């Protein structure tokens, strides 16, 4: 991709903007869901600077208070009872931690959804249902079953086959799967089925959580309490990578009994936890979740209006929740063409790793009116150019 767009390097960022080494700046409506607070949020940067000046990495011998404060801040917003927070360095590591925790409970049968994306490390890749990424690394974890997303009947059939030893991994909205939004009640049905069949429910909120969907977590819309919740991306505050596995006391019990079962040298580092703590505090103080909900409605409506002339032809559907929006095209080629057109005009957007026909938008909640107007104007121009090129 770097070669295709001219080999530019990104060298600086702030708010909704990224600056390249050739002097141009780009409006960032991509970022793979990381920058809900934008780039270099002042409060997060200040907290990280302060931590660097005092104690950036821990000895892992003594108790470390920054991690404790970050865990307490995060747990104040997780679903009721999901209070045990295990910090890691990336979303894939959060998935790995959840899979190991499930194994510690004897849940050796894993059920995932088609087009689900949970990371590319070996265990996470085993539940990332895409042969493009899986095939070169076979064999992966055994006893992994793929079921259709938003299909409780298919899930129940798989659960019946793995009774009392299953772990279900699911996203509230499939991000890399092309912003696939399930029908209302789907997550409640998944929760109920897991209870009936004694399965451990892991909800992957790495992309959908931290306000991205206009609620703190995607499960909040249906008041679902998972056994394990995965957080990441936005938890970093857009400054230092960090992710987390949060669990109920019952689910976390094996790791509580023996904390050495799953450890990491850099997991829960003071510098990363300082970023996470500052990110949560900034979201509280700036009402980021409500801003994401309101802005998401406006952006979705505006994108639909811009795309309307092309629906039934170039554009198949526009869908989204909060600040996670997907434009599905009739042909794969349109995604690449539009992405390049947008970049050429100074706007960054993302493709979807598990859905090649969907262009994905994950704007920050801090985007200003002038920037939003620029995005919509650019999208209209890029769509017109792409439609002309593909029809000609």
pLDDT (tens, 9 = 90+) of the chain, 392 residues, equals: 667 667 889 999 999 999 999 999 999 999 899 999 999 999 999 999 999 999 999 999 999 999 999 999 999 999 999 999 999 999 999 999 999 999 999 999 999 999 999 999 999 999 999 999 999 999 999 999 999 999 999 999 999 998 789 999 999 999 999 999 999 999 999 999 999 999 999 999 999 999 999 999 999 999 999 999 999 999 999 999 999 999 999 999 999 999 999 999 999 999 999 999 999 999 999 999 999 999 999 999 999 999 999 999 999 999 999 999 999 999 999 999 999 999 999 999 998 888 899 999 999 999 999 999 999 999 999 999 999 988 86
Between CA 222 and CA 317 the distance in angstroms is 25
Strand partners, 328: 317, 358
Strand partners, 169: 202
Inter-axis angle of helices 270-286 and 288-307, nearest 10: 70
Between CA 48 and CA 60 the distance in angstroms is 19
Angle at the Cα of 334 (from 333 to 337), degrees rounded to 5?
90
Q: Where are the alpha helices (DSSP H) in 205-269?
A: 249-257
Between CA 310 and CA 387 the distance in angstroms is 8
Residue (of 61, 41, 4) closest to 278 by Cα position? 41
What per-residue confidence (pLDDT) applies to 353? 86
What separation in angstroms does the CA of 18 have from each of 35, 110, 152, 381?
12, 39, 42, 21
Q: How far out from the chain centre does Cα 183 lie?
A: 19
Contact criterion met (CB below 8 Å) for 175 and 143: no
Contact criterion met (CB below 8 Å) for 40 and 48: no
| Ramachandran category for residue 34: left, alpha or beta (phi over 0 → left; psi -120 to 50 → alpha) | alpha
Contacts of 231 (CB under 8 A, 6+ apart): 74, 94, 205, 206, 209, 210, 243, 244, 245, 246
Between CA 152 and CA 135 the distance in angstroms is 27
Q: What are phi and psi of 293, to 5 degrees?
A: -65, -50
Between CA 169 and CA 117 the distance in angstroms is 10
With 0.85 as the threshold, say if the pTM is over it.
Answer: yes
Burial profile 18-57: b = 16 or more Cβ within 10 angstroms, e = fewer: bebeeeeebbbbbbebbbbbbbbbebbbebbeebeeebee
The single residue listed with the structure tokens 């409500």 is: 290
């Amino acid at each position: 991709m770097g070669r295709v767009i001219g080999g530019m390097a990104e060298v600086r960022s702030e708010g909704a903007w990224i600056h390249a080494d050739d002097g141009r700046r780009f409006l960032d409506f991509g970022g793979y869901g990381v920058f809900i607070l934008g780039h270099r949020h002042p409060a997060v940067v200040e907290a990280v600077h302060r931590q660097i000046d005092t104690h950036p990495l821990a000895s892992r011998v003594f108790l470390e208070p920054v991690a404790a404060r970050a865990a307490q801040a995060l747990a104040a917003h997780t679903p009721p009872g999901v209070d045990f927070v295990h910090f890691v360095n990336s979303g894939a590591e959060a998935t790995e931690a959840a899979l190991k925790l499930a194994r510690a409970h004897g849940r050796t049968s894993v059920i995932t959804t088609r087009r689900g994306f949970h990371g590319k490390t070996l265990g996470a890749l085993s539940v990332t249902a895409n042969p493009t990424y899986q095939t070169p690394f076979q064999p992966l974890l055994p006893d992994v079953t793929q079921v259709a997303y938003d299909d409780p009947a298919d899930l129940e059939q798989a659960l019946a086959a793995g009774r009392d030893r299953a772990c279900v991994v699911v996203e509230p909205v499939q991000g890399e799967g092309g912003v696939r939004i399930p029908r209302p009640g789907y997550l409640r049905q998944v929760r109920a089925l897991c209870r009936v069949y004694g399965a451990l429910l892991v909800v992957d909120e790495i992309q959908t959580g931290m306000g991205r969907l206009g609620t703190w977590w995607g499960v909040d819309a249906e008041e679902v309490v998972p056994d394990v919740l995965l957080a990441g991306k936005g938890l970093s505050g857009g400054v230092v990578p960090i992710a987390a596995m949060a669990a109920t006391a019952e689910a976390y019990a094996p790791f509580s009994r023996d904390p050495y079962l799953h450890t990491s040298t850099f997991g829960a580092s003071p510098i990363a936890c300082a970023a996470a703590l500052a990110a949560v505090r900034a979201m509280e103080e700036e009402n980021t979740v409500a801003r994401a909900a309101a802005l998401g409605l406006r952006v979705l409506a505006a994108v639909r209006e811009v795309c309307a002339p092309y629906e039934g032809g170039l554009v198949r559907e526009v869908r989204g929740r909060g600040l996670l929006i997907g434009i599905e095209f009739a042909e794969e080629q349109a995604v690449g063409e539009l992405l390049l057109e947008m970049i050429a005009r100074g706007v960054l957007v993302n493709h979807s790793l598990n859905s090649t026909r969907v262009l994905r938008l994950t704007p920050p909640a801090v985007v200003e009116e002038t920037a939003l107007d620029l995005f919509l104007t650019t999208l209209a121009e890029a769509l017109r150019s792409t439609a002309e090129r593909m029809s000609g």
